Amino acid sequence: MVLLSPELSKLHAGALMASVAASSGMTVNVFASMGALGQFRRQVVEERRFVVDEVGRELLAKDVPLFHRMLADARDLGDLHVYGCAMAADLMGWRDEDFLDLVEDVIGVAAFFGKSEGAQVITI
Amino acid sequence: MVVDARGSYCPGPLMELIKTIKAQPVGATVDLLSGDRGSSKDVPEWVAKAGHELVGVFEEEGHWRIRVRKGR
């Protein structure tokens, strides 16, 4: 699962699919890059500085468990890993400790391809 | 065993069911209560794939009761 968009509703869609897949016994590797990676920073989540469209607004208003919560829960239930993109992190000056504990490691595209070899890739 | 997931959005009820069923012995029956429209279609799909038995989907007042028997 490749997450690129910073939009809350798209992160939600990706996390939802990833968590159901992992809970159903599939191995899931999530690679967060570009704007999506920024949303995995502690500060963004703590201050709820999300990028929202109309669906995102409702997710917040109705207090639905958000993408990071869903992914953390799924990680406890199944074989799910979340990686940050090294390029985006370097470009933006984000350090490993800026990210939620959920982000297991910051890796490059080649490493991600290695992990997802033979797998179906979904990009959001 | 009853899992009351009313008020939780998709895939909340499914996730609750998966969590609960993992902790139960084979043959145990779990009732999932869900008010979420997707779950009545989603949960049976997962149950079949995961090798459990769908006892039934019952529509009750304002919610569904989905009864599952753990198959493995």
The tens digit of pLDDT for each residue in B50-65 reads 999 999 999 999 999 9
Whole-angstrom distance, CA of residue B30 vs CA of residue A122: 33
The ipTM of this complex is: 0.73
Strand B2-4 to A103-107 pairing: unpaired
Angle at A52 between CA A46 and CA A57, to 5 degrees: 90
At residue A77, the pLDDT reads 86
Which of A9, A12, A19, A20 should be substituted to probe chain B, the one whose Cβ sees the most B Cβ atoms within 10 Å? A20
pLDDT above 90 (res B10): no
Round the average pLDDT of chain B to a whole number and report it: 93
Q: Tell me the helix, strand and coil percentages in chain B, rounded to 5.
A: 30, 35, 35
At residue B39, the pLDDT reads 86
Is the omega angle on the peptide bond into residue A65 within 30 degrees of 0, that is, cis?
A: no
At residue B38, the pLDDT reads 83
Tens place of pLDDT per residue across chain A (124 aa)? 999 999 999 999 999 999 999 998 999 999 999 999 999 999 999 999 999 999 999 999 999 999 999 999 999 889 999 999 999 999 999 999 999 999 999 999 999 999 999 999 999 9
pLDDT above 90 (res B40): no
At residue A113, the 3 state secondary structure works out as helix
In angstroms, the separation between the Cα of residue B15 and the nearest Cα of chain A is: 7
* A33 at interface of B, judged by CB pairs closer than 8 A: no
B41 band by pLDDT with thresholds 50, 70 and 90: confident
At residue B25, the pLDDT reads 97
- In chain A, count of helices (H) and strands (E)? 7, 4
Mean pLDDT (whole number) for B10-38: 93
| Contact yes or no for A62/B9 (Cβ under 8 A) | yes
Closest to A77 (Cβ–Cβ): which among B9, B19, B50? Answer: B19
At residue B36, the pLDDT reads 86
Query: Are B15 and A24 in contact (CB < 8 Å)?
Result: no
Whole-angstrom distance, CA of residue B68 vs CA of residue B21: 9
Q: What percent of chain B has pLDDT over 70?
A: 100
